[in-house]
Structure 1
Amino acid sequence: MRWRSFGRSGLKVTELCLGTMTLAGQADEPTSIAILDAAYEGGIRFLDTADVYPVPMRLETVGRSEELVGRWMAERRNREELILATKAYFPTGPLPFDRGNSRIHLMRACEASLRRLRTDRIDLYLCHGWDPTVPIEETLDTLERLREQGKVLYAAISNVRSHEVAEALVAAARSGVKGFDGLQPRYNLLQREAEESLFPLARRFGLGVMVYNPLAGGVLSGKHRPGSAPAEGTRFTLPEIGEVYRQRYWDERYLQEAWVLKDEASRYGLSLVTAAVAWVLSNPDVSSAIVGASRPEQLADNLKASGMELPEELKKRLDRVWFDLPRRPPDLDRPRLDSWYGE
């Protein structure tokens, strides 16, 4: 498993990161533990979780994924071998200050995550979204205080637009605080909007980039036949968040393209999963790609992508995919503070 620098920070991460939103939810506890073990045995030392996981995100299940990860690290005694990332932003309670990027919420959320994860620090703490109701200066100052207290080592933000990143960079410079060390955008063969402005910003200002949905929610697994309905048990059929993923990826043109690419990858002895993840990792702007699973055996093809150099002709074919597909309306599924809660 290769390690990469997280932007110009001193943080080093494995180029594959295990996403945990299925753990203690879609995957029951024994299966979740097996997934964590498989990732660890495959060389992954970077974990991404969030205080609201598992999905579907509900108030009664807040923190269960973090708790499971915390128990696993305690039982395996491997915390010091891992880079641990978690996130805050979405509602964790019924009160107005139980959400967002305010000082009160981030401070309380960080303490709660530390308890659930059974650790004294969070290596990479992310705002799970941009909060227009809170001055960015307050958010950055709060993250700076958490750094000073040793509870957070590095900070990043997910689901953000380029002009918001620019606003945060300016605010950090004016306030004399560190600001964000990295970004967490969506990025895959089918949706490459991050290349247009987020990646150039990250490159210019030395921000790390950990991308999610490298398999387009499973469309690039190659298991969904064109013209079919989403299979039960996939994230496309989950309550609430399933609708988000259907809007994002369940498009007949995507399904048809994935079906063709599956055959083309097989000519080179590769699964579409391996090819799609390797393609994401071939972008030098990417520090790490978040991969997930609902069963441990699903990780095998993801793990093969680490360190892989795609055959030149296949790489060229994958590079062309996006240009032949229709563009989606911007921010169609941009997360809001009330997302996935039916509020």
Structure 2
Amino acid sequence: MDLRKLGNSGTVVSALCLGTMTFGSDADEATSFALMDDYVEAGGNFLDTADVYTNGTSEEIIGRWLKSKGGMADRLVIASKGRFPTLEGSNGLGLSRKHLGHALDASLRRLGVEQIDLYQMHAWDALTPIEETLRFLDDSVRNGKIAYYGFSNFLGWQLTKAVWIAKAQGYTPPVTLQPQYNLLVRDIEHEIVPAVLDAGMGLLPWSPLAGGWLSGKYKRDEMPSGATRLGENPKRGMEAYEKRNANPQTWAVIDAVMQIAEQRGVSAAQVSLAWLVQKPAVTSVILGARKREQLADNMAAGDLSLSAEEVARLDEASKPQIGDYPYGAGGINQRHRKLEGGR
């Protein structure tokens, strides 16, 4: 499998990461162990979890699997996250030094490791000064509890502010951002992707198949059924389903994906993942499989290289809808590009 630098660090990770949000919920412990076994056997070396995934059970399952494998932790890059509520009380959440101190130590215990390779802030905290968070993260790197840190679900200005404060204070810089990104969700290309590229960081996209939509499982104007997330739990996300189903662009994208998949003799999921793997700034795409068969199919995307023409077809079908200002054809940024000769 293709290996890439973890953002601006010297550590390398596989282009496909195994997300573990399903561990302890949609996937029981035996299935979770099998998923990790299959992933590593296929050449993957990057696991992503969080302290709130199944109330810490995901980290515990990974910890027990690592213990059963001896020195496996040294061979893998393990990422977790902190920010959301894990303790009762007003200080049981957020990006304060107090909460993150508890959260990081608890994640280390559950995982059974002395150091977390990539510790990510799960979302922005408007109450805590970002300087406090960055100082805590720098201290945690220096004392060996984490090797690197990154962010998740940050906006462009939030990311850039954090990057430049870290630089000004001489703190260890962040290496990655984990946002939602897929053929149906491309709005991050307006501000967030440029901010990531400007900082020399890497993207770790989550929900690369848009909750199953880009695997071709859902049909136009047909209620989800069977072995799909919405089919098994129709009350979960039906409002989002109805909104996405009513958007003509959704089906234009899915049609383009299905056509390329048929021409290539591969699955729709593989085409959707391969498109994302090839996008600028993407370091590793986070897979969210619940079953071994899903993971095997998704992992095959690592060997699929889309042609420039295929990428262009998908880009055109999924082009983000934007207004005229400031991003559109009449926007100030486009006018400046013309004045500068398109450079």
Q: TM-score range by the shorter chain?
A: 0.7 to 0.9
Counterpart in 2 of 1:84?
Answer: 78
Matched residue SS, 1:304: helix
Aligned partner (choices 89, 106, 121) of residue 95 of structure 1: 89
Gaps of 5+ in 1: 55-61, 329-343
Amino acid at match of 1:80: D
Contact 1:91 1:98 survives alignment (8 Å): yes
Distance between the aligned counterparts of 1:274 and 1:202, measured in 2? 25
Give the TM-score normalised by the residue count of structure 2. 0.87
**Deviation at 1:246?**
2.8
Counterpart in 2 of 1:167?
Answer: 161
**Deviation at 1:197?**
1.8
Aligned residue-pair number: 320
**Deviation at 1:238?**
8.1
Matched residue SS, 2:196: helix
Distance between the aligned counterparts of 2:117 and 2:109, measured in 1? 14
Equivalent residues in 2 for 1:118-197, closer than 5 Å: 118-197=112-191
Equivalent residues in 2 for 1:59-70, closer than 5 Å: 62-70=55-63
Contact 2:138 2:171 survives alignment (8 Å): yes
Amino acid at match of 2:252: E
Distance between the aligned counterparts of 2:206 and 2:239, measured in 1? 13
Contact 1:226 1:255 survives alignment (8 Å): no
Distance between the aligned counterparts of 1:153 and 1:24, measured in 2? 26
Contact 2:253 2:317 survives alignment (8 Å): no
Inter-CA distance 188–104: structure 2 relative to 1 (3 Å threshold):
same
**Deviation at 1:231?**
3.3
Give the TM-score normalised by the residue count of structure 1. 0.87
Aligned partner (choices 306, 312, 316) of residue 316 of structure 1: 312
**Deviation at 1:307?**
4.0
**Deviation at 1:232?**
6.1
RMSD: 2.4
Distance between the aligned counterparts of 2:243 and 2:150, measured in 1? 25
**Deviation at 1:137?**
0.2
Matched residue SS, 1:186: coil
The farther-off stretch of 257-266 and 275-284 is 257-266
Inter-CA distance 26–241: structure 2 relative to 1 (3 Å threshold):
farther
* Identity score, percent: 39
Which of the pair has the greater relative contact order for Cα pairs under 8 Å at 6+ separation? 1
Inter-CA distance 40–150: structure 2 relative to 1 (3 Å threshold):
same
The farther-off stretch of 152-161 and 311-320 is 311-320
Inter-CA distance 276–249: structure 2 relative to 1 (3 Å threshold):
farther
Larger radius of gyration: 2
Counterpart in 1 of 2:192?
Answer: 198
Gaps of 5+ in 2: 324-343
